[in-house]
Amino acid sequence: MLLTMQGRPHIELERGRLAIGGIPAMALVERYGTPLYVTDVDRVVERYAEAKKALSSRHENVNVAFAYKANSTPGVVRALAREGAGATVVSEEGVRLARACGVRPRDVVIDGPSKSDEDLAAAVKAGVGMINAESVEEVLVIESVCASLGVRGRRVGFRVNFDIRAETHAGLATGGRSHKFGVAREEVVRFCEEYVPRLERVTIVGLHSHAGSQISDPGVFRTEAERLVELSEELRTSGVRIDEFNVGGGLGVSYDGGGGPPIGEYADATAGTFSRKGRGDARVVSELGRWIVADSTVLLTRVNYVKEAGGTSWALVDAGMNTFLRPALYGARHRVVAAHAADRTESDRAYDIGGPVCETTDTFGSGFRLGVQLARGDVVAVLDAGAYGSSMSSTYNMRPLPRTVFVAGGRARVSPAC
Ligand SMILES: Cc1ncc(COP(=O)(O)O)c(C=O)c1O
Query: Residue 418 — pLDDT band, cuts 50, 70, 90?
Result: low
Residue nearest to atom 13 of ligand 1 (CA): 213
Decide if 358 is catalytic.
Answer: yes
267/51 Cα distance (integer angstroms): 8
pLDDT for residue 1 is more than 60: no
- Which atom, in ligand 1's list, is nearest to the CA of 215? 10
302/297 Cα distance (integer angstroms): 16
* Beta-bridge partner residues of 317: 303
Of 101, 146, 192, 358, which one is the catalytic site residue? 358
Q: Do you know the residue count of the chain?
A: 418
Residue 395's SS3 state is coil
Residue 193's SS3 state is helix
| 8 Å CB contact between 35 and 319 | yes
Cis amide leading into 356 (omega within 30): no
108/97 Cα distance (integer angstroms): 11
What are the start-end ranges of the H helices in 21-91? 25-32, 41-56, 74-82
Residue nearest to atom 4 of ligand 1 (CA): 249
146 C-alpha to ligand 1 centroid (Å): 27
Whether the model clears a pTM of 0.95, i.e. scores above it, the answer is yes
67 lines ligand 1 (CB under 6 A): yes
| 8 Å CB contact between 283 and 62 | yes
290 lines ligand 1 (CB under 6 A): yes
| 8 Å CB contact between 133 and 139 | yes
| pLDDT, tens only, 84-130 | 999 999 999 999 999 999 999 999 999 999 999 999 999 999 999 99
316/293 Cα distance (integer angstroms): 27
pLDDT for residue 415 is more than 90: no
Query: Residue 186 — pLDDT band, cuts 50, 70, 90?
Result: very high
Average pLDDT of the chain, as a whole number: 96
Distances from the Cα of 386 to the Cα of 56, 211, 273, 332, 345, angstroms: 25, 21, 30, 14, 30
90/123 Cα distance (integer angstroms): 10
* Beta-bridge partner residues of 63: 285
- Which atom, in ligand 1's list, is nearest to the CA of 291? 11
Amino acid (one-letter) located at 246: N
Query: Residue 3 — pLDDT band, cuts 50, 70, 90?
Result: confident
| pLDDT, tens only, 217-253 | 999 999 999 999 999 999 999 999 999 999 999 999 9
Which of 47, 55, 69, 119 is the best mutation target for the ligand 1 pocket, counting ligand atoms within 8 Å of the beta carbon and taking the most?
69
| pLDDT, tens only, 20-76 | 999 999 999 999 999 999 999 999 999 999 999 999 999 999 999 999 999 999 999
Query: Which residue, among 157, 151, 124, 152, has the nearest Cα to 139 in the 3D structure?
Result: 157
248 lines ligand 1 (CB under 6 A): yes
